[in-house]
Structure 1
Amino acid sequence: MSDGKVRILRHGPVGQVILDRAAKRNALDRPMLEALVAGLRNFDADPAIRAIVISGDMQAFAAGADIGNLASAGAIELYHSGFSELWDAVTLIAKPLVAAVAGYVLGGGLELAMICDIVVCDESAVFGLPETGIGIIPGAGGTQRLVRAVGKSMAMEMILAGRRLTATEALSTGIASTLTPKGEADATALGLATRIATASPTALGAAKQAVLQSFEMPLSAGIRYERSLSALMAASEDRAEGMLAFKERRKPIFKGE
């Protein structure tokens, strides 16, 4: 399914949202972001879908945010526009998100990729936050997430000096976890998402939240949070099924309960 902004595909238990604005190198304007969020929310609410892939095309995952009319907006209008908050809506997706990126992954495109739980890139990918070169700064979490991924010095060089990272550098710095030959990011990401989809949906949701909380909490508080979630798993039917399947040496049948 396509609405001219994104394409929505289903691959068994894996949903895929493809950014579909090739003429603009998938620059993220409001209608495109709204369509992306709608697609993600629909998959998140569908019990048959257990993992989600976000991808672009071979030229660009997304070459930045297309702010359109926001470029001439005043400070108060911009602050209340809700444009950057559309990225926040992506952070609320409970199911695992895998980004499959190629070509340009710049500005808002990099911010979107960093929101995803796992990033798979092919060897053509180029990563950067070029905003200061046009008189602005990242506005969708880029300054905060990038430093957590690559450290202060590299983040400063990318943001202040406009340094762009190759796919190999993105892998070595931790922005991406997997590097593929050109043209294979989508297939690799879908394969990874399919493997994720074999796990318990209940456990996946809890594990994702526990990892994300590690960015928000001190270590001791994070460990207590993890321990509480681990204990709650004892009430899950998926846990009982997983334990029984392990004992019986068979594949578990998880229901997300």
Structure 2
Amino acid sequence: MSELSMVVDRLTMTTPQMVRTSAGPVVVRVAPLLEVLQGMVHHRTAGAGGRSSSSSGSGAPLDMEALNLMVSVEEELVHLQWVMRSAHPPARAEMQAAADLFRVPFAVVAGPPAPGFGGMTVFERLRWTAVRAAALGRDAEVLAIVRGWVSAIERRMDPPIVIQPRKPCPACGEHMAWTMDPSLDELVQVPAISVVVGDRPRGWCIECGAEWVGPEVVDLVTQCGGSTELARNLLGR
């Protein structure tokens, strides 16, 4: 996996991310950052694990700072798309390898898209651009720009509220798991289970990949030693 593919995944897919809490590092699922940014514009801020909050009232004003950032992202993406589209088409082998790396069907990137990239979501357009850049050996051009998007969006995100159940994962029985800490560039042990508190509570085991969402989180917390009252508070009940 290249650095560009990791950054593009961070922007377009739900990904595991390390979050530092008072109890130590934990790993949680984080919503695609471009989706987070779209939510911020309308005051629906999605943090790590999908935690979100909405402004009261349907007539709430737009978050102009978030809107300006989204417009800037869109303008830069359009520029990148046309730069990569205008370049001489890469060889088929390089294109296939890049498509596989970014998990994009080869048929999607084999030829130029319709004029204006009509019908493609912002996620699809970014992945198309990244595939073309990787196939052309121009990863650094795209990486220099999309890194800035990640930093700008993350600076505006609320930190997630995370609780750590006291017992092992009910799915695999593990209590701790090893994961790479990017800031230390080494493996560290973290609790296998993390539960993110918010409007959309979610539990996740880093060891076996089991997930719990919505009402399932109540069962998870009670199975892991938490009180039923605590568990139901997660759902606002």
Length-normalised TM-score, structure 2: 0.30
Higher helix fraction: Structure 1 or Structure 2?
A: 1
Q: Which has the larger radius of gyration?
A: 2
Report the TM-score when normalising by structure 1: 0.28
Q: Which has the higher contact order (CA 8 A, sep 6+)?
A: 2
